[in-house]
Chain A
Amino acid sequence: MTVRTLLLAALLTAVAMPAVAHHGWGGNEEKITELTGTVVKPVSLAGPHATMQVKVGNVVWDITLAPLPRTSAAGLRENSIPVGATVTVRGNRSLEADHHEMKVVLVVHNGKRYAVYPDRL
């Protein structure tokens, strides 16, 4: 019985491992890149992660921020940055070249730094 329970636990652990290893950032580059553009959709504190959209040249980037409590704790709120403002973001962009999405760790606006993932900078 004990051996069977242990085998079951080992199997479940093996199944769960890749999920843990890949959490969240699997589809994005390892390296940090920087974008500067204008805000077309302000910070939204809705859903599992906060989001915003930034236009760089003719391309609109979907910016994924930290989960809501963490983004809010970094000082970044829905009214912090107005539409049309220039922002610089740093983060890990999508591995797919034609997918303009970035998981952002830092937002800089008007000299103010919002480090939503300070440990990933």
Chain B
Amino acid sequence: MGFHDFLQWLEGSPLGHAMRSSGVWTYAIVNLFHIVGIALLFGAIILLDLRLLGAWRGVPLASLSRPAVTVAGTGVTLAVLTGIPMFATKATDYADNYFLFAKFALVALALLNVLALHRSSAWRAQAAGQALTIAQARRLALAAGCSLVLWFCAITCGRLAGYW
């Protein structure tokens, strides 16, 4: 199945049909929850990432990371679950929308960054409330920097996709 076949399949799927035939407010409401998801995600990661980069050192890291990860995870799940039906609505229209596919790549990279971080010994150490070595603190700061840049660029591309 080629790329255009995939777009046609997605647009012609029951999900695409449902999005196009379920009333004039459906897209707007799905879009609303997409934005709420992004707000939850970015609002949570900016707190955690800035803490990992050295802000608010008085706040115990484990106390911040647990709720931040829960809220960010909820946000990204909501954004993906609402993003798929919005894409399916007119999938073939996005065939030459480079911003949208750049966004997908950036989201994939950002999620890989999360995966790698969560498998690191530095992350396990902070989750357990242990004191971090300098190397561990640097590992967390590096992931935080990547997270901020990748998610910000993903949001930028997502917004610009609407203006393409």
Contacts and interface: CB of A to CB of B under 8 A. Distances in A.
Interface of A: 19, 24, 26-27, 44-48, 67-69, 71-72
Contacts of B147: none
Given A68-B25, A68-B28, A48 B162 contact: yes
A44 B162 CA distance: 18
A47 B162 CA distance: 11
B20 interface: yes
Interface of B: 19-20, 24-25, 27-28, 31, 89-90, 93, 159, 162-163
* CB-based closest 8 A-B pairs: A68-B24, A46-B20, A47-B90, A72-B24, A69-B24, A47-B89, A46-B89, A45-B24
B159 to A, nearest CB: 8
Majority DSSP secondary structure for residues of B touching A: helix
Question: Which of A46, A47, A68 counts the most B-chain CB atoms under 10 A from its CB?
Answer: A46
Contacts, number: 30
Contacts of A46: 19-20, 27, 89-90
A24 to B, nearest CB: 8
A46 B93 CA distance: 11
B24 A26 contact: no
Contacts of B159: 19
A72 B24 CA distance: 7
A48 B31 contact: yes
A47 B93 contact: yes
Of A44, A47, A71, most buried by chain B (CB within 10 Å of CB) is: A47
A47 B24 CA distance: 9
Nearest to A68: B24
B27 A48 contact: yes
B89 A69 contact: no
21 contacts: A19-B159, A24-B163, A26-B163, A44-B20, A45-B20, A45-B24, A46-B20, A46-B27, A46-B89, A46-B90, A47-B20, A47-B27, A47-B90, A48-B31, A48-B162, A68-B27, A68-B28, A69-B24, A69-B28, A71-B24, A72-B24
Contacts of B93: 47
Contact of B28 (A19, A24, A26, A67): A67
